[in-house]
Amino acid sequence: MLSSCRTHSLIDYFSIALTHGLIMVAAWRLLFRGDLDDERAAEPKPDKPWLKNRAGGSPDA
């Protein structure tokens, strides 16, 4: 009985630690994701952002 209680207690700690740990890692990763608040941040950035406003011209021109 005692060992069963102990096993159950260990299972409780394990399931809490695993899932809460994963939620914490997810929250940490979300902190640094720009697209969490703004969809446009997910769009791929141009190779040379300083040339993005040069309409029609190739970056090498």
Partner 1 sequence: MRDIVLLAFIGTILLMGFKRPFLWVLLYIYVDIVSPQLIGWGLIRSLHLSLVTFIAAFAGYVVLDSKEGSRFTLRQAIIVALLAWCGYTTLGAVFQEFAWQKWDWVWKGMFFAAFLPLALRTRLRLEAAVLVFVLSIGANAINGGMKTVFGGGGYGALTMLVDMDSGLYEGSIMSTAAIATIPLILFLARRGTIFPPSWMVWSFAAALIFACLLIPIGTNARTGLVCIAVLGVLMLRQVRHRFLFAGLAGVAMIASLPFLPAEYVERMETITGFRSDESASTRIEVWKWTYHYALANPAGGGFDAYRGNSFTYDLPEITGEGNNRQITYSEVTDEGRAYHSSYFEVLGEQGWLGLFLWLALQGLGLWQMERIRWREKAYRSDRDVFMHDLATALQHAQIIFLVGALFVGIAFQPFVFILIAMQCAVWSQWKLARKGFKPSPVAEKIGVSQEPLVS
Q: Using CB under 8 A, which residues numbered 6 to 45 contact partner 1?
A: 7-8, 11-20, 22-24, 26-31, 33, 35-39, 42
- Structure token digits, residue 19: 């899932």
Nearer to partner 1, 18 or 51 (CB): 18
Instruction: Decide if residue 59 touches partner 1 (CB under 8 A).
Output: no
Query: Which CA distances in Å does 43 have to 20, 40, 52, 59?
Result: 31, 5, 14, 20
Instruction: Report the interface residues with partner 1, using CB under 8 A.
Output: 4, 7-8, 11-20, 22-24, 26-31, 33, 35-39, 42
